[in-house]
């Protein structure tokens, strides 16, 4: 399995693709990340890639795997990333009909 691209590699690719300085490309990546953190509570969409959304999980009863004892897991809010349909189809190929 191939290694994933690092932030530096992504910045270098963007810099060469759009004729930018690498420092500007790194700044763009950091600003997109910061913007997504700030706006995630309202859901943040990266067109063609996916969406960051907050999801409320209900309180539930779980089990301690070591002892088998039941424990109460409190309700909480979690961040989820929903992959866009276009990204799924591009990566996995169109689903058979």
**Higher pLDDT among residues 96 and 45, named by residue:** 45
Count structural domains, the chain. Answer: 2
Between CA 7 and CA 85 the distance in angstroms is: 25
Range of the domain at 50: 43-97
Residues 61 and 72: beta-carbon distance below 8 Å: yes
**Same structural domain, 47 and 94:** yes
Looking at the predicted structure, is the pLDDT value of residue 94 above 90?
no
Q: Find where tokens 């859901």 sit.
A: 43
57 — pLDDT class (breaks 50, 70, 90): very high
On the CB side of 24, how many CA atoms lie within 13 Å of its CA?
8
CATH of the domain at 47: 4.10.520.10
Residues 1-39 pLDDT 10s? 678 999 999 999 999 999 999 999 999 999 999 999 999
């Amino acid at each position: 399995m191939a290694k994933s691209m690092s932030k530096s590699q992504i910045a270098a690719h963007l810099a060469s693709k759009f004729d930018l300085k690498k420092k500007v490309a790194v700044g763009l990546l950091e600003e997109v990340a910061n913007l997504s953190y700030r706006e995630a509570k309202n859901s943040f969409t990266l067109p063609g890639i996916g969406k960051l959304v907050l999801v409320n999980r209900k309180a539930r009863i779980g089990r301690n795997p070591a002892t088998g004892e039941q424990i109460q897991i409190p309700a909480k809010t979690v961040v989820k990333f929903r992959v866009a349909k276009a990204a799924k189809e591009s990566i996995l190929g169109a689903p058979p009909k």
